[in-house]
Amino acid sequence: MLSQHKINAMLTEISSFLNRSSDRDLLGRSVVITDSGGADGGFLVHHFIAQALRDGHITILVSCAQSYTHYNSVGTKLGVSFSRHEEQGHLVFIDCLTKLTTQQQNGPTDEEVKGQTRHTFSLDSAFSLRGLYKLLHQCLLDVRRVKPDKPVCLVLDDLSVLVSVGVRLVEVVGLVHYCQHMVTSTAHTALGGGYMVTMVHCEGGGGCDEETLGHHLAHKAHLSLHVEGLPSGYSRDVHGQVRAVWRDSLPVLRREAQFKLTDRTAHLFAKGTSSAVL
């Protein structure tokens, strides 16, 4: 297991690339992460989750792509205990994956797991996301009632899954729009504040619905992050590159970096500065 010093250094390295200077600089903003070219942007999703929990933010995690066990395992590697944060009321987990893969259509339900309430959600017969929005809205009201002064981080991972199972693009875009307003609105900011992180896997290419969704949401986001493979192909020492665009700055701020992933670490560095090159 990584030492706390190495975990802190890794998180700081990514936060520095993201131009973050405090634990409140994302309040009122939305972040969209997309990936393509064989690269996986999931490491950035895990970074935002771990950083939010370490900063004491209430984190509502909606998973369409991975199990609770997966997030918990990665969180442990990043020095974050999901069970402890659940017990403290800092983490709410909403499981869309189980219902999507089993094709059950029973509507929103709650499941008691080791004394903690975790939510599950399934699509209705019309493939509408209205029920999911209502569930998210209720979760937000619940955490606001108990911890009104805590910032809220809403994570949607990975919305391309909803498109792949037949949900219309307009439904997914609408969900993101209403969630963004719900979390980052002026009334909400007057309390503890909030921000949203959305992941969209765009591997299909060729103008597929997933790619269209990713491009649309990235263009609307305050900060968009695109993870892609190297144009030159696979490299043992450089696994891909990240392009960041801050659309709420004037002029628009752009930054690029390359990265290398291992089982326990993610390292970002400027182009041409990999240890293999130097």
Where is average pLDDT lowest: 164-173, 215-224, 242-251, 266-275?
A: 266-275
Looking at per-residue confidence, does 112 or 265 come out higher?
Answer: 265
Q: What is the pLDDT of residue 271?
A: 84
pLDDT at residue 222 is higher than 90 = yes
In a domain, 88, yes or no: yes
Q: How many CB atoms sit inside 10 A of residue 183's CB? A: 24
In a domain, 250, yes or no: no
pLDDT at residue 162 is higher than 60 = yes
**Average pLDDT estimate for 117-127:** 64
In a domain, 203, yes or no: yes
- For 132-151, the pLDDT digits (tens) are 999 999 999 998 888 888 99
Q: How many domains does the chain have?
A: 1
In a domain, 228, yes or no: no
Q: What is the pLDDT of residue 188?
A: 57
In a domain, 149, yes or no: yes
The pTM of the full predicted model, rounded to 2 decimals, is 0.90
In a domain, 249, yes or no: no
DSSP SS3 for 41: coil
Question: Helix 209-220 to helix 169-184 angle, to the nearest 10 degrees?
Answer: 20
CA distance 1 to 78: 9
Find the domain containing 110 and state its range: 38-217
Q: What value, to the nearest 5°, has the Cα angle with vertex 198 and ends 95 and 254?
A: 160
Q: What's the mean per-residue pLDDT of the chain?
A: 86
pLDDT at residue 108 is higher than 50 = no
Contact 137, 44 (CB under 8 A): no
> Which CATH number fits the domain that encloses residue 109?
3.40.50.300
In a domain, 208, yes or no: yes
